[in-house]
Structure 1
């Protein structure tokens, strides 16, 4: 059961003044007041007061559109982003809390069926092993008509290898925080599961369906509980208590969300839903661009 109260972030302080599209969110595992927001075309912004104010992180860097964003759970000054637009497409790493970034793309290429030579794909999701942060998995989305891939590194991004390919990969990746040998990946074909930390994968659950058509997962979160309770974004916000075999819809029209490991009762979400909506008996939402939710219990 999820018990939630709502506190609005002062979104008006989020620069630039003419508005910006937030496409990824990450929260420091050591300090829940430190939040990073990846944007489209404006790079990465950082808040040190829980989202009340924001500053641009990495001025002068080539990073523009952070399609994905992740923080090392053991070393929170180390961040990874997936840059989504040419010519800087690929994975970038920062070891100074976002002040500077450098590319780490060795081995990170997919075959180019339409464009000839192998190329670096767009990185739509990054998941870091919570107990061994040098092990990282990426969801790499290829050009239309080409094969998407999951990539794995075991040396902190120095080298990458493709560990799975599919025609319909999504933005959803998540380690089980208690047993990180279990990893989940959402696809248009269903939910993939790895039993060995991402080295190999198998289909473990059918896809979400809307009017009999499959809907790709676009976010996953495995809760730190005794059983694998999963929250997913697909047909709105979804919840599974049986490792993804069956799902219940919690609420619709919420996009990006993040939960800090140091304070798992806080959720940051990008929502556009009906005001004063109450769902699942004890879950409450209000309509706004960006919200901070405080849960009393997971």
Structure 2
């Protein structure tokens, strides 16, 4: 980076062609996630679309890479154990759905605040929208898997682990073209979970970015059973209009208050 800042642009001419050399330059790519250490807000983690994971120990004034030795540098989401901030999960594969997205290769786990990493499965999920650790049980981890960009695949939906990522179970599956893009958990009662499902498949010649199976689902038993949230005349109805990506969030002080952002507007309950 220091070398890049000191470099001067140069150009060469060959016939009518002129190439200007910009060097490596101080230009960042897309940042897909930012997570604060729940016990120490000076420690921040940032996931990049194709650049791995970076860590700051001074509230973002300086950064250093901590994921460069891994085979996959495409980051979808970072999840930190709220009970032990040394335990970090990284879901690989950007889930935003653009033509220039790069696939991931599953989930990685660190138990030493990012110094070392272990691959823990879900390789075929391709892209991951969210990783959430249950605040009442650190062994219970949820992954919102969006799936492949350019083809159908069954490794989509919500995955749950009851043993800290050693094994995984798919607890919500809709179809091979519908994946989970976002997931929220009630911090007071972690049995209450909500997930946003997104029907999406890209093709080289066209894009399929919405569908009848997009929508919101909720569980009141920790992800074992799920209920589709009916639009009820308020939320966009995927059976009657195009419903694509949905983002969801809750108020941590009032977890009964939930916000949903659709491609056509924002709603709250």
Q: TM-score, normalised by structure 2?
A: 0.71
**Residues 1:202 and 2:210 are matched in the alignment:** no
Match of 2:59 in 1: 50
Q: 1:235-273: CA deviations, max 9, x gaps? A: 388451x2xxxxxxxxxxxxxxxxxxxxxxxxxxxxxxx
Query: Structure 1 or 2: larger strand share?
Result: 1
Match of 1:66 in 2: 75
Contact 1:79 1:97 in 2 (8 A): yes
Q: 1:171-220: CA deviations, max 9, x gaps? A: 21010111110000012432100111112211124354699321321x33
**Residues 1:132 and 2:137 are matched in the alignment:** yes
Using CA pairs under 8 Å that are at least 6 residues apart, name the structure with larger relative contact order, 1 or 2.
1
User: In angstroms, what is the RMSD of aligned CA positions?
Assistant: 2.7
Q: Aligned-pair distance for 1:20? A: 1.9
Separation in 1, partners of 2:245, 2:68: 34
Q: Aligned-pair distance for 1:68? A: 1.2
Match of 2:119 in 1: 103
Q: 1:119-145: CA deviations, max 9, x gaps? A: 444322111112112111111122333
Give the gaps of 5 or more residues in structure 2. Answer: 6-23, 94-101, 199-213
**Residues 1:186 and 2:214 are matched in the alignment:** no
Runs of 4+ in 1 over 6 A off after TM superposition: none
CA distance 1:16–1:130, shift in 2 (3 Å): farther
**Count of residues in Structure 1 that have an aligned counterpart in Structure 2:** 215
Structure (1 or 2) with the larger CA radius of gyration: 2
Match of 2:250 in 1: 222
Q: Aligned-pair distance for 1:97? A: 1.0
**Residues 1:142 and 2:147 are matched in the alignment:** yes
> What secondary structure is seen at the aligned counterpart in 2 of 1:166?
coil
Contact 1:193 1:202 in 2 (8 A): yes
**Residues 1:23 and 2:32 are matched in the alignment:** yes
CA distance 1:170–1:149, shift in 2 (3 Å): closer
Q: Aligned-pair distance for 1:94? A: 0.7
Separation in 2, partners of 1:166, 1:104: 24
Contact 1:208 1:215 in 2 (8 A): no
Separation in 2, partners of 1:178, 1:55: 34
Give the gaps of 5 or more residues in structure 1. Answer: 1-11, 110-118, 243-298
Q: Aligned-pair distance for 1:165? A: 0.6
Match of 2:185 in 1: 175
Separation in 1, partners of 2:79, 2:41: 14
Q: Aligned-pair distance for 1:72? A: 0.6
Match of 1:7 in 2: none
Contact 1:208 1:235 in 2 (8 A): no
Contact 2:186 2:255 in 1 (8 A): no
